[in-house]
Structure 1
Amino acid sequence: MNAVHRPLGPSDAVLWSMERDPLLCSTVTAVGLLDRAPDRTELRSRFELAVRDEPRLRQRVGGQLWGVGRACWVDDRDFDLSAHLRWLGGVDDPRWLWHFAAQTAEEGFDRSQALWQVTVVEDLAGGGAAFVVKLHHALTDGLGAVDLLRHLVAVSPGVVERMAPRPVPEMTGPTGTAAHVAGMARHPGRTVRSAAGLAGSLTRLVAPSPNRMAPLWDRRSTRWRFDTVEFPLEALRAAGRIAEATVNDVFVAGVAGGLHRYFAHHDRHVGALRINLPVSLRRRGDGSAGNRFSPVRVVLDISEHDAYRRVRAVSAQCRAARHEPALPLTETVAGTLALLPAPVTAAVMGSMLKGVDFVATNVPGVPVPCSLAGAGLTRLYAFAPLSGAALNVALVSHVGLACIGLNCDRAVIDDPDVLVACVHDGFDEVLALGHARGAPAQRKGA
């Protein structure tokens, strides 16, 4: 039987090719904390079903020679689940798990095999366990990864419907290039203004970034460090209600306040930083595999001391990012980049991303209690790739918690404990907005 060849989607192909530059590594990592070790036999059975139901999990990338040619998903005839699901004993050290996860991410992938790996860590302190997931971004984006998780976890019978994917609202009428052509045909008088607005938006999305704006973060390396913080999700919602903002707005404002404190700690006044805000383009009916997002770069003011005004300002910038007119053209632009030789694609993406100071991404996670092969899943953290930035902060909502993972460049941020403390304080400022409506937010970190 011949192997099945399916070309990578445009965005998937760009994510695959751009890591020809090691600073644009596309490894996504997630760590789930469990209240006990999962049953090995049941867990393997669940992975066997997941691999059967989602073909992408048993495929590798082929089709290119020296970075030239169309990359394709190819069925791996020698696929062996044991090469992707492994078990390990833990160490009684609170930092060990995060160090292990970062080290695992830095190791990259064997490109002759399927681009994912799961390590179950047993015998952690207090009898707990964890799983460390490493997958290549070409496989899927954050929302797709959470959807894949649904193949593995079990929930109570009465709450299965609450586990349904939460896509962004569907757009009405034609989308992408077709939408703009149709709009111009219906309203020719607006064509010139529309074209000018679209051209400006497209320039903002693809233009090279100027020099980095963070004065202390002028280097980049391939060495990562993972840290975590968490807050009650309701505390973010309460602050959002006061400021008429979304959970994501409060999240970004908390990070912005923390970074202002961090630079002030180093006696540096930093008024603004360049942030990469991934905007989801997923629609109802999209499958788990594949990427459907656009990276939108914004110069974010971090100098506002008043928490309410900070959240409101961030909300306005995030709203503008979500409504960039050129967003429907993301796949068209990616398709053009994917036609270039991989080194050229990497150079173009590097010119866009290496001027970014930090990334902030928010993924709706699992909203209900669930278990993995008999072990309760108590926390779920994501550590997204730096992709040219010095810091990536990712929020995953999990059963009433805002689980926040920080991936920082160890060659750039040599005092990560100070950074984490400052981020804590930045969130305290914005979450205080909602304290009048509930109990003070309790925070934790690793």
Structure 2
Amino acid sequence: MASITRMSGFDAGFLYMETPSMHMHTLKIAVLEPSTDNTFDTLVEKMTERLRLLPPMRRRVVPVPFALHHPVLVTQRRIDPERHFFRHDVGGAGTMRDLEQLIGRICSTPLDRSVPLWELHLCEGLADGKVAIVGKIHHALADGLAANAMLANVMDVSSTDLRASVRGEDHDGVDDPSDSLLVRHALRDGARQLLDLPGLLATTARRLRAVLRYRRGMDARVPMPVRDAPRTSFNGPLTPRRTFATVTLPLADLKRARAAHADIAGLTLNDIVLGVTSGALRRWLEEHDEHPRGSLLAGVPVGLDANDIEPRLMGNNVSNLFTTLATDVDDTGARLRAISTTTRHAKAINERLGSSLMDWSQFAPPAPFAAAVRAYSRLRGARFHPAAFNAIVSNVPGPRERVKIAGAQLADVFSVGPLTEGIGLNMTVWSYMDRMNFSLLACPDLLPDVERLAAHFPAALAELLDHPDDSAEARAESAADDQESA
């Protein structure tokens, strides 16, 4: 990788979107088994040694004078540990809930843009002797797939070895470029970029025609952002505060729920995740006497290069599909069928659109874009209209076997992305071995009891399992699935 690289418009957009109340970092939480090596000094030493395996963690964002073009990423010669590594005592009884409350506070502050955009927080004092490492990394540097690849790069397990060309980088970093050099290169890159415009126009028109043709032939309706999103209490202007909660469900039970609904053609494990999320939200809404005018909508991030053989360690290559959570459907089977059918069509539309929005973001003018977002946030614009959708729901496959990180045994891993204006709830799922770990991030001024929402997930899964098709044949199919996955 080059020592100085231009950020794509899509990556830089996460910088422009950041405001005092909308922090665009993601969280990765690794819970480690008790070990004499789980010390702060060891964490700093071992992670510093492995920085060459984690390219985004060596890059600092350098803006272009007068915002003539998107910023550049400059590889740093050295990293100052005092700016990136932090130590905390969980306190209280050292429970998981104490850790979650600490993580909420860690998430409530933005990253320092004068250094590479990441932090590692060692959280000690858990009652069972475990420790947690909370990683904050800016979304501009890596999406969920890139973060997963970086995690694989620091795992001590042979089956996650990556190709030598991907595992590391050999350059030592460079000095920050001069303003005159940044301006010259910005003008040059901007002129070259204009040459791509005719081709992008033609490609976008072709993709939109394909989407329109597909929509005309659909046997179901895919919801439209904003127009079809009902208002809820957790959709509104954000404040800087964040709260965090987790819940873990057995992967085998989610697979068994899929087998129990085998009559739904094309049902996927991700549909089950959406179904469980829907059931939990229905319970929370009922508990708070909220009755939205229609089904809640989910924005589901989808990696456009998820099937690529070569892992990607930096940047974003992700789109969003919009689907129903069918929270207005009482019957469990009908609700899951609606989710599965709508999501299937949403995926097909998303595939036809491809990277259109990402490609156009390259032409977004940095200064006006950032100024518009800040003004919208300052004026609390999200109160004047329905949100684009109601909640973010993401599902990223994690390690399928027991692993170590820098010599320490990984007990569990959690992850969650940021909140965006108008959307005060993000639910991200990372699998680890035989379980699915749900992480919930909320703005407490919109959703004050995120731990109560998390508590409804087991009952929502039980509801999917309590189905007439959960026969011996269905259970046998689920068992065969588990054996094949193993």
TM-score tier after normalising by the smaller chain length:
0.7 to 0.9
Q: Structure 2: how far apart are the matches of 1:299 and 1:306?
A: 15
Partners of 1:410 and 1:80 lie apart in 2 by: 33
Structure 1 residue 397 corresponds to structure 2 residue 431: yes
Could you tell me whether the CA contact under 8 Å between 1:14 and 1:345 is conserved in 2? no
Residue 282 of structure 2 is matched in structure 1 by: 260
Tell me the residue number matched to 1:249: 271
Within 5 Å, which residues of 2 pair with 1:421-432? 421-432=455-466
- In structure 2, the residue matched to 1:73 is 73
- Whether the 8 Å CA contact 2:225–2:322 is kept in 1: the answer is no
1:327 to 354, 374, 378: 354
Q: Residues 150 and 354 (structure 1 numbering): CA distance in 2 closer, same or farther, change over 3 Å? A: same
Is 2:38–2:131's contact at 8 Å kept on the other side of the alignment? no
Cα distance in 1 for residues equivalent to 2:341 and 2:360: 26
In 1, the alpha carbon distance for the partners of 2:208 and 2:87 equals 60
Gaps of 5+ in 2: 165-197, 479-486
Greater share of residues in strand: 1
Per the alignment, do residues 338 and 257 of structure 1 end up closer, same or farther by CA in structure 2, a change over 3 Å counting? Answer: farther
1:196 deviates by: 4.1
> Compared with structure 1, are the counterparts of its residues 10 and 432 closer, same or farther at alpha carbon in structure 2 (3 Å cutoff)?
farther
Q: CA deviation at 1:425?
A: 2.1
Change (3 A) 1:240 1:211: closer
Cα distance change of structure 1 residues 66 and 28 upon mapping to structure 2, 3 Å threshold: farther
Give secondary structure in 2 for the equivalent of 1:154. Answer: coil
Query: Which residue of structure 1 aligns with residue 388 of structure 2?
Result: 355
Correspondence for 1:371 among 374, 389, 404: 404
By how many angstroms is 1:68 displaced?
Answer: 5.6
Q: Shift of the alpha carbon at 1:238?
A: 1.9
How do residues 168-207 of structure 1 correspond to structure 2 at under 5 angstroms? 194=210, 196-197=212-213
Asked whether the equivalents of residues 32 and 408 of structure 2 are also in contact (C-alpha less than 8 Å), the reply is yes
Partner of 1:168: none
Partner of 1:337: 364
Equivalent residue, structure 2, for 1:216: 233
Structure 1 residues 310 and 299, CA, compared in 2 at 3 Å: closer, same or farther? closer
Partners of 2:153 and 2:162 within 8 A in 1: no
How far residue 333 of structure 1 moved from its aligned partner, in angstroms, is: 2.5
Task: Specify every segment of 5 or more residues in structure 1 that has no aligned partner in the other structure, as ranges.
Answer: 165-176, 185-189, 440-446
2:257 aligned with 1:239: yes
Tell me if 1:35 matches 2:33: yes
SS at match of 2:364: helix
Q: Which residue of structure 1 lines up, in the alignment, with residue 88 of structure 2?
A: 88
The normalised TM-score by structure 2 is: 0.75
Matches within 5 A, 1:147-162: 147-155=149-157, 157=158, 159-160=159-160
Change (3 A) 1:120 1:405: same
Q: Provide, for residues 54-73 of structure 1, a one-character-per-residue CA deviation record: whole Å limited to 9, x for no partner.
A: 33211111124576632111
Q: Which residue of 2 aligns with 1:133?
A: 135
CA distance in 2, matches of 1:426, 1:152: 35
Residue 288 of structure 1 aligns with an amino acid whose one-letter code is L
Q: Deviations over 1:116-148 (max 9, x none)?
A: 111122331011111111110011111111110
| 8 A contact 1:395–1:402 mirrored in 2 | yes
- 1:87 corresponds to which letter in structure 2? R
RMSD of aligned alpha carbons:
3.7
Q: CA deviation at 1:338?
A: 5.6
For 2:295 and 2:326, locate their aligned partners in 1 and report how far apart those are by CA, in whole Å.
4
Contact 1:16 1:26 in 2 (8 A): yes
3-state SS, counterpart of residue 313 of structure 1:
helix
Q: Deviations 1:6-29 (Å, cap 9, x if unpaired)?
A: 11123211111111x344421111
Shift of 1:387: 1.5
Percent identity, aligned pairs only?
A: 25
* 1:237 CA drift (Å): 1.6
Summarize the Cα distance change of 1:290–1:315 in structure 2 as closer, same or farther, 3 Å threshold: same
Residues in 2 aligned to 1:192 and 1:397: alpha-carbon distance in whole angstroms: 35
Q: 1:318 aligns with which of 343, 349, 370?
A: 343
Deviations 1:176-209 (A, max 9, x none): x98996999xxxxx99953744899xxx99x872
Structure exhibiting the larger radius of gyration computed from Cα positions:
2
Deviations 1:306-342 (A, max 9, x none): 2222222211222222222213323212223365633
Question: Scaled by the length of structure 1, what TM-score is found?
Answer: 0.81
Count of aligned positions:
415
Query: Is 1:275 the counterpart of 2:298 in the alignment?
Result: yes
Secondary structure class of the residue paired with 1:214: coil
Give the Cα separation in 2 of the matches to 1:122 and 1:423. Answer: 28
Relative to structure 1, is the Cα distance of residues 236 and 337 closer, same or farther in structure 2, using a 3 angstrom cutoff?
Answer: farther
Aligned partners of 1:240, 1:301: CA distance in 2, in Å? 17
* Whole-Å separation in 2 of the counterparts to 1:162 and 1:246: 28
2:308 corresponds to 1:309: no
DSSP-derived class of the 2:137 partner: strand
User: Are the aligned partners of 2:231 and 2:386 in contact in 1 as well (CA < 8 Å)?
Assistant: no
Q: Distance in 2 between matches of 1:191 and 1:408?
A: 35
